[in-house]
Amino acid sequence: MQAFVCAFDGFSVAIPMGLVASLSSLAGGEAGAQRGMVERDGESGDIRVSLPLLLGRPREGVRHGVALRCPGGGGRVVLLCPEVALSGEIPDGEFHPAPRALKSARFSALFSGIRCEGGALLLLDAERLGAAARLARKGEAKG
Give the global pTM.
Answer: 0.78
Can you spell out the DSSP letters for the chain? --EEEEEETTEEEEEEGGGEEEEEE--HHHHHT--SSEEE-TTT--EEEEHHHHTT-TTSPP-EEEEE--TT-SS-EEEEESSEEE-----GGG-BPPPGGGGGSTTGGGEEEEE-TTSEEEEE-HHHHHHHHHHHHHHHHH-
Give yes or no for residue 126 having a pLDDT over 80: no
- The predicted-structure confidence for 131-142, as pLDDT tens digits, reads as follows 776 676 665 555
Supply the pLDDT for residue 128. 75
The mean of the pLDDT values for the chain is 78
**Domain, as residue range, for 53:** 3-142
Indicate the number of domains in the chain.
Answer: 1
Supply the pLDDT for residue 137. 60
